[in-house]
Chain A
Amino acid sequence: MLYKPTIGTRIFDVCNVLLLLFFAGVTLLPFLYILATSLAPLTQVLRGGVILWPESLTWDAYRTIFTNAHFVHSLYTTVILTVVGTLTNLVLTVFMAYPLAKKRLKGRRTILFLVVFTILFSGGMIPTYMVVKALGLMNTMGALILPGAISAFNLIIMRNFFQSIPEELEEAAKIDGCRNLGVLFRIVLPLSMPALATFTLFYAVGHWNQFFAAVMYITKSNLWPIQVVLRQMIIEGSTQDFEAAMGELKIIPATIKMAAIIVATVPILFVYPFLQKHFTKGVLLGSVKG
């Protein structure tokens, strides 16, 4: 330290730590409350008050939702949607970003302009809906995957990332007899792992949390992803599916709703720490203007 901290500085530091603790608390508290209540026994829930620690663990609420065929099926749909959708996103984004990163490619600027233009202007909800309908995608997984197959933002960031890989590497590989695709798969992609991890996370979160496309394009409830079912349960308050089980196990709708929230949230929060170390790097590398 070059200087002695003054009293003012000390006070500021303490206040700062307290303030940030408060913000972190405000962020975590709703989760804790919902998690604890979903696990708490009925007696504790009925007594009221904020529950941040269950007196004893009760898995009844979870047992109830996991024995509900509709809920489990929507989870299954969402897992498939997330895996297939994310793969589609990654493949299409990489395939398009790679050629666009090559300065020698003719028509590159035009295509880039056309891509950026879609960020600035869009046909809007109704014409997009009409296209999806005309393609016969209504009530198919395709309606949830194809209209968002490439995010223009991610594409641009990916392209900038590819462009930042030294061209000499490609030239060396070509002298050794590699074709364009060989360069992409053997050299560029292995070097792009931080970016790929970031986009995997972003696209996967997008699919897991997908709600509105499903509301628009999926009218059959057996194809609903988890978020739509959640909304129906919590916001529209329809838990009659669970009534039989509720009578038997003596649990209340609120606990079931909370358990459903936890089930729909935990998988996403679970992948996040594993990818966290990549994404700050990945996001920032790519977003530097190229």
Chain B
Amino acid sequence: MNVRSAEAAGRAAETGVLYKRRRGKELLMDWDLYLLLVPGLLFFLLFKYVPMWGVVIAFQDYSPFKGVLHSDWVGLKHFVNLFTYDKFWAIFRNTILISFYNLIFFFPAPILLALLLNELRISWFKRSVQTIIYLPHFISWVVVAGMTYLILGTQGGIVNELIQASGGEKVAFLTTPEYFRTLIVSQSIWKEAGWGTIIFLAALSGVDTQLYEAAIVDGAGRWRQLWHITLPAIRSTILILLILRLGNILDVGFEHIFLMLNSTVNSVGDVFETYVYREGLIGGKFSYTTAVGLFKSLVGLVLVAGANWLSQKFGEEGVF
């Protein structure tokens, strides 16, 4: 028996004293595991934790020439600016509103779709519908936005051509503020509702079919079965996802909004991240927009932590 297998046997036995004495050696034996961690740790350090440290420029008047270390400290100046700035509150309002509409219209869509799919008895039909409604998830927002432009645009857009052909007036779907939020929410539903059914269908497939049989014997119809068996089966999944959604209320899908924004709908469509991008990266207001970003991240953190606490309070598993 060689040394290595003796040690493996020792570990398998896990008898206290022997195990403890070997621990120093175990660390040495696992040096390669620690080595494997290095690139990943470097990644998180460089691209996640260094930027967290970089938020200090929110408290400075950052100048690229002086660098982070030598820029002048200005305390809470940028935060005072942001809370007293009308534009900031407009952005805040837009973000919350889009999030709110998503919550009301987009959030229930996959649940309803999953419930309908679950009622299907013909399995090949079910599979085909699933395959089709998953598809848009894999398409980029650029393509979704591009298709929207081609279909709803005023110049040659097919919908407007049809409206005109039937004697109507052209509608500027893409440049009318009133339509912007509807458009955003509809696109989200089209792209992601199908994909969102996966998790609910999985929860539903775990339901014991005997429950349905027993319910039928007791005289329950389709509605009763839905109410007393199907819905309770996905209750905790719905709750966890809802809570997560509430925690991320300030995140509304950056690329999506960015691609659909134009000068005429800015008043209703400009959200935190598009604002930070435009004013910060393009406009060069690094410190101010970092303060905006920090505000958003902190609110997000509090909301997620609160939501997690709530979920445990409801007797559900926490998300983290």
Instruction: Check if B138 sits within 8 Å of A50, measured CB to CB.
Output: no
- The binding surface of chain B is classed by DSSP as helix
Residue of A nearest to B298 (CB): A121
B119 adjacent to A13 (CB under 8 Å): yes
Q: Say which residue of B8, B50, B149 sits within 8 Å of A234 (CB atoms).
A: B149
Q: How many angstroms between the C-alpha atoms of A16 and B12 in the bound complex?
A: 56
| A99 vs B119: C-alpha distance when bound (angstroms) | 43
In the assembled complex, which residues on chain A have CB atoms less than 8 Å from the CB atom of B172? none
* CB <8 Å contact, B151 and A33: yes
Chain A nearest CB, measured from B224 CB (Å): 12
Cβ of B161 to closest chain A Cβ, rounded Å: 5
Could you mark each residue 266-283 of chain B with 1 if its beta carbon is under 8 Å from any beta carbon of chain A, else 0?
A: 000000010011001100
A12: B residues at CB distance < 8 A: 119, 222
| Chain A residues within 8 Å of B140, by CB | 208-209, 211, 227, 230, 264-265
* Contacts across chains A and B counted by CB atoms under 8 Å: 269
- Report the count of interface residues on A (CB-CB < 8 A): 95
- CB–CB A123/B53 < 8 A: yes
Distance to closest chain B CB from A25 (angstroms): 9
Pair B146/A261 contact, Cβ less than 8 Å: yes
Question: Do B30 and A180 touch across chains, with their CB atoms under 8 A apart?
Answer: yes
Those of B227-275 within 8 Å (CB) of chain A:
254-255, 258-259, 273
Question: B289 to chain A: which residues have CB within 8 Å?
Answer: 125-126
Binds B, one of A1-9, A56-64, A66-74: A1-9
Task: Evaluate contact between A235 and B217: CB separation under 8 angstroms.
Answer: no
For the complex, give the distance between the alpha carbons of A180 and B254 in Å. 41
Interface residues, chain A, CB within 8 Å of chain B?
A: 2-3, 6, 8-9, 12-13, 16-17, 19-21, 23-24, 26-28, 30-31, 33-34, 48-50, 92-93, 95-96, 98-100, 102, 104-106, 111, 114-116, 118, 120-131, 135, 146-147, 149-150, 155, 171, 174-175, 177, 179-181, 184, 205, 208-209, 211-212, 216, 227-228, 230-231, 234-235, 252, 254, 257-258, 261, 264-265, 268-269, 272-273, 276, 280, 283-284, 287, 289
> Which positions in B face A, CB cutoff 8 Å?
2, 4-5, 8-9, 11-12, 26-27, 30, 32-34, 36-37, 39-41, 43-44, 46-55, 57, 68, 113, 116-117, 119-122, 125, 128-129, 131-136, 138-143, 145-147, 149-151, 156, 158, 161-162, 165, 190, 194, 198-199, 202, 213, 216-217, 221-222, 254-255, 258-259, 273, 276-277, 280-281, 286, 289-290, 293-294, 296-298, 300-301, 304-305, 317, 320
